[in-house]
Amino acid sequence: MGSQPAEQGPTSPTSVPAAPTPAPSDSAPADSASGVSAPADSASGGSREVIRWGILATGWIAKLFTEDLAHVPGAQVLAVGSRSFEGAQAFAETHGIPRAYGSWQELAADADVDVIYVATPHSAHHAATRLCLEAGRAVLCEKPFTLDHASATDLVELARARGLFLMEAMWMRTNPAIRRAVSLVAEGQIGEVRHVSADFGLPGPVLPGHRLRAPELGGGALLDLGVYPITLAYLFLGRPTHVRAWASLFPEGTDENTGIVLGYESGAVATLACGLRGKTAGRAVITGTEGRIEIPGPFHVPAGFTLVRGSEETWVDVPYVGNGMNHEAVEVVRCLREGLTESPLIPLADTLEIMALLDEIRAQIGVTYPS
Ligand SMILES: NC(=O)c1ccc[n+]([C@@H]2O[C@H](COP(=O)([O-])OP(=O)(O)OC[C@H]3O[C@@H](n4cnc5c(N)ncnc54)[C@H](OP(=O)(O)O)[C@@H]3O)[C@@H](O)[C@H]2O)c1
């Protein structure tokens, strides 16, 4: 297990967070449920032995993900594309990647690439993913999927129309401990879920000029961090019927500190928070009528959790591998090999519902983006 989970930056006033250690190999079992199938000879991958990856953008998370990919059975990193050839070449040399391209177009046009991992700032997710899909490539796109529901819908419709695989890189949903917690709750181990609480706050300070403050780059705590507690609540409670949110904003107009309350038809409630100035405990608690699950921080990449039933408390140990991102890569490789165009672990319908929720919260806290 990696000692420093991702999504911890920025932990210092600088804009370049420290990188965790490289990942050992992954042997996470594949999910047996099936998703939507594509024809075996489609660009979704068919029944290929080796799935060849392209990396689009060369920033912090691209580095961590590429490190994890190196240890995913059946995955080969074939190419990298950057806005500059020098950037692509330097990244290719560091990671031993055979092909380097100085534009997204050239990467997308490489017919030997089966799937492209999009790791730009959020504001470019839509354009980059669209370009790749139009070129016939499958895509794994970083979270948040896009800036809003409308642009997310555009990508989902395009992928479906072309029979191409598309998935949001919401790696928390492929984390083995999160998956175990979801199945225990589905089995009724804690009864009916009544409350979910989760917080994700980074210490900051985030200095002016950092992408996390910039409206033109989709900055703010909500889209970068809030998407995790919102997705967690969604996993255990589904779609809320009531949404209330408030945030304090940076001078640039993006959110610095955000609180969210979600209400559900069943009477359940979720209380969620995210912020960029103050490291919160990062814990999550799922409380049911018969017990609860306590996930220690950082809840989006746990190595286990405590199951509480009455006076009994049991630690359920479910370690993750490497930086924790190879589980999502394993899922992509599995889907492509099986000819699926969607992952049943991260369905596109869920991604769209969560994007709609993010739109609603942004409207309430008064954050708008230039695009
Ligand atoms: N899953 C996770 O744990 C996790 C953690 C952190 C971030 N993320 C997500 O990953 C994405 C990237 O985050 P990051 O921290 O890696 O950011 P980053 O370090 O700033 O890297 C982003 C990369 O995108 C390219 N880029 C920069 N500005 C751009 C622009 N205006 N338009 C298009 N491309 C641009 C650059 O690569 P080139 O110079 O090569 O073009 C840059 O290195 C974000 O959407 C974030 O939410 C996920």
Residue 200 in contact with ligand 1 by CB distance below 6 A: no
SS3 1: coil
Verify that 74 and 164 share a domain, yes or no: yes
Reported as a single tens digit per residue, the pLDDT across 124-148 is 999 999 999 999 999 999 999 999 9
Residue 215 lies in domain: 176-319
Whether residue 329 contacts residue 27, with contact meaning beta carbons closer than 8 Å, is answered with no
Verify that 301 and 332 share a domain, yes or no: no
Q: Is 63 a catalytic residue?
A: no
Considering 279, 303, 319, which residue would you say is the last residue of a domain?
Answer: 319
Reported as a single tens digit per residue, the pLDDT across 244-301 is 999 999 999 999 999 999 999 999 999 999 999 999 999 999 999 999 999 999 999 9
* 309 belongs to a structural domain: yes
What's the gap in Å between 121 CA and the centre of ligand 1?
Answer: 4
Instruction: Give me 324's structure tokens.
Output: 């924790």
Q: Tell me: pLDDT of 318 over 90.
A: yes
Whether residue 187 contacts residue 160, with contact meaning beta carbons closer than 8 Å, is answered with no
The CATH number that applies at residue 71 is 3.40.50.720
- The bridge status of strand 292-295 relative to strand 284-288 is antiparallel
Q: How many domains would you assign to the chain? A: 2
Q: Which helix (H) or strand (E) holds 118?
A: strand 115-118
Q: In terms of C-beta density within 10 A (0-12 exposed, 13-18 middle, 19 or more buried), how is residue 157 classed?
A: exposed
Verify that 107 and 202 share a domain, yes or no: no
Verify that 148 and 213 share a domain, yes or no: no
Q: Which helix (H) or strand (E) holds 329?
A: helix 326-337
Task: Give the separation between CA 127 and CA 12, rounded to whole angstroms.
Answer: 30
Residue 6 in contact with ligand 1 by CB distance below 6 A: yes
- According to the model, what pLDDT value does residue 47 have? 52
What's the gap in Å between 208 CA and the centre of ligand 1?
Answer: 17
Q: How far is CA 15 from the centre of its chain?
A: 21
Verify that 193 and 290 share a domain, yes or no: yes
* 22 belongs to a structural domain: no
For residue 139, list its beta bridge partners: 116, 166
Verify that 120 and 239 share a domain, yes or no: no
* 362 belongs to a structural domain: no
Verify that 250 and 337 share a domain, yes or no: no
CA dihedral in degrees (185, 189, 191, 192; nearest 10)?
A: 0
Q: Which residue has the tokens 């290719």?
A: 92
When computed from its CA atoms, the radius of gyration of the chain, rounded to whole angstroms, is 20
* 135 belongs to a structural domain: yes
* 34 belongs to a structural domain: no
Q: In terms of C-beta density within 10 A (0-12 exposed, 13-18 middle, 19 or more buried), how is residue 208 classed?
A: exposed
Verify that 129 and 209 share a domain, yes or no: no
Distances (CA, A) of 102 to 55, 63, 95, 156: 12, 17, 16, 27
Verify that 233 and 298 share a domain, yes or no: yes
Reported as a single tens digit per residue, the pLDDT across 329-356 is 999 999 999 999 999 999 999 999 999 9
Verify that 127 and 196 share a domain, yes or no: no
Q: What is the mean pLDDT of residues 204-212?
A: 94
* 257 belongs to a structural domain: yes
Whether residue 258 contacts residue 245, with contact meaning beta carbons closer than 8 Å, is answered with yes
For residue 70, what are the contacts with CB-CB under 8 A and spacing of at least 6? Answer: 22, 23, 77, 95
Task: Give the separation between CA 233 and CA 228, rounded to whole angstroms.
Answer: 9
The CATH number that applies at residue 264 is 3.30.360.10
In this prediction the pTM is: 0.90
**Residue of 126, 143, 173, 292 with catalytic role:** 143
Verify that 117 and 219 share a domain, yes or no: no
* 334 belongs to a structural domain: yes
Task: Give the separation between CA 158 and CA 160, rounded to whole angstroms.
Answer: 5
Task: Indicate the pLDDT class of residue 71, thresholds 50, 70 and 90.
Answer: confident
Whether residue 122 contacts residue 223, with contact meaning beta carbons closer than 8 Å, is answered with yes
Whether residue 328 contacts residue 334, with contact meaning beta carbons closer than 8 Å, is answered with no
Instruction: Give me 184's structure tokens.
Output: 């225990």
Whether residue 351 contacts residue 344, with contact meaning beta carbons closer than 8 Å, is answered with no
Task: Indicate the pLDDT class of residue 49, thresholds 50, 70 and 90.
Answer: confident
Verify that 163 and 241 share a domain, yes or no: no
Residue 215 in contact with ligand 1 by CB distance below 6 A: no
Which atom of ligand 1 is least distant from the CA of 6?
3
Among 56, 104, 142, residue to substitute to test ligand 1 (most atoms within 8 Å of Cβ): 142
Question: How much is the mean pLDDT over the chain?
Answer: 89
* 42 belongs to a structural domain: no
Q: What is the mean pLDDT of residues 7-25?
A: 32
Which atom of ligand 1 is least distant from the CA of 300?
3
Laid out side by side, the sheet with 99-101 consists of: 99-101, 75-81, 51-56, 115-118, 138-142, 166-169
What's the gap in Å between 211 CA and the centre of ligand 1?
Answer: 9
